Amino acid sequence: MNIRLLYFAALRERLGIAHENCTLPDGVTTVGALQDWLAVRGEPWSGAFAEMRRVRAAVDQSMAHADTALRDGAEVAFFPPVTGG
Amino acid sequence: MSGTRASVVRVQQEPFDAGAEIERLRAGNPRIGAIASFIGVVRDLNEGDAVAAMTLEHYPGMTEKALADIVAQARTRWDIDDTVVVHRVGALRPTDAIVLVIVTSAHRGPAFAACEFIMDYLKTEAPFWKKEATGAGARWVEARDSDDTARDRWAKRP
């Protein structure tokens, strides 16, 4: 499964990249599994995901949870809790 | 235009003119009996530190979708007419207006409630992030638990 990954705000700065394309191994089919897979990929992902107290996610531009399913071609974003308004 | 209810959502760098937005909604719409509005403004102090400037980042595409979803939720709860949500992004300074919400309705109750509901959900669900420039350097603003609490109390309300 191929996905487009986006990072925002403090997470984007910590990782040093705003986006990347990923080919996921079989078995990585949810947001939670993706986050775990990124964290064991090595630095900077492991450190960044460990340091952030809370990371929120969106799939195809809707807020998602750990058990939200991924699909081929999905746009998945990770970011800190939002602070607008 | 009878029966048409407009939901305007804009994300922009430019300042907005709240008075002009309100006049545009009022003009020629005799259904409107109440207009509630909220303007969020950049303060010069946060967490005890002087704030010289601020940069607002957002997630283009999702931001507009999230704001439209929040307004749609408000419409399922209250009988309201037109809505306007304008949120600024980019560089802002103390005294600059950041966000504008306007809700019109026949009576004040739905307008007040929907305006507050939209702001409470915007604070916790719309993908914006503030970075402050202070004397000690730049820092990302931390989300507040009190904002989650403000949103969650709507789940308990009729």
Which CATH number is B122's domain given? 3.90.1170.40
For chain B, say whether A52 makes contact (Cβ under 8 Å): no
Rounded Cα distance, B61 and B136, in Å? 33
The answer to whether B149 and B140 have CB atoms below 8 angstroms apart is no
Question: According to the model, what pLDDT value does residue B1 have?
Answer: 43
For chain B, say whether A37 makes contact (Cβ under 8 Å): no
Helices B108-125 and B62-77 sit at what angle, rounded to 10 degrees? 150
Taking CA atoms, B88 is separated from B91, B129, B154, in Å, by 9, 11, 25
- Which of A9, A54, A61 shows the shortest C-beta gap to B62? A61
Any domain includes B24: no
The mean of the pLDDT values for chain A is 95
Give the domain range for residue B141: 42-78+89-95+112-156
pLDDT band, residue B2 (cuts 50/70/90)? very low
The answer to whether B126 and B112 have CB atoms below 8 angstroms apart is no
Any domain includes B16: no
Identify the closest residue of chain A to B89 by CA–CA distance.
A84
User: Going by C-beta distance under 8 Å and a sequence separation of 6 or more, which residues neighbour residue A64?
Assistant: A31, A57, A58, A76
The answer to whether B143 and B123 have CB atoms below 8 angstroms apart is no
User: Going by C-beta distance under 8 Å and a sequence separation of 6 or more, which residues neighbour residue A83?
Assistant: B128, B129, B130, B140, B141, B142, B143
Identify the closest residue of chain A to B58 by CA–CA distance.
A8
Helices (H), chain B: 18-26, 62-77, 108-125, 145-152
Helices (H), chain A: 9-15, 31-39, 45-51
- What is this structure's pTM? 0.94
What is the dotted CATH code of the domain comprising A2-79? 3.10.20.30
The total number of structural domains that make up chain B = 1
The 10s digit of each residue's pLDDT in A19-38 is: 999 999 999 999 999 999 99
The 10s digit of each residue's pLDDT in B56-113 is: 999 999 999 999 999 999 999 999 999 999 999 999 999 999 999 999 999 999 999 9
Contacts of B121 in chain A (CB under 8 A): none
Domain locations in chain A?
2-79
How confident is the model over B42-54, as a mean pLDDT?
Answer: 91
Any domain includes B70: yes
For chain B, say whether A5 makes contact (Cβ under 8 Å): no
Question: Does position A76 have pLDDT exceeding 70, yes or no?
Answer: yes
Contacts of B129 in chain A (CB under 8 A): 8-10, 79-80, 82-84
The answer to whether A72 and A22 have CB atoms below 8 angstroms apart is no
- Interior angle at CA B5, CA B4 and CA B6, nearest 5: 115
- Which of B61, B119, B130 shows the shortest C-beta gap to A83? B130
Q: Using the beta-carbon criterion (under 8 Å), do B123 and A58 form an inter-chain contact? A: no
Q: Using the beta-carbon criterion (under 8 Å), do B123 and A10 form an inter-chain contact? A: no
The mean of the pLDDT values for chain B is 94
How many A-B residue pairs are in contact by the CB < 8 A criterion?
72
Taking CA atoms, A12 is separated from A48, A55, B123, B132, in Å, by 9, 12, 20, 16
Question: According to the model, what pLDDT value does residue A63 have?
Answer: 96
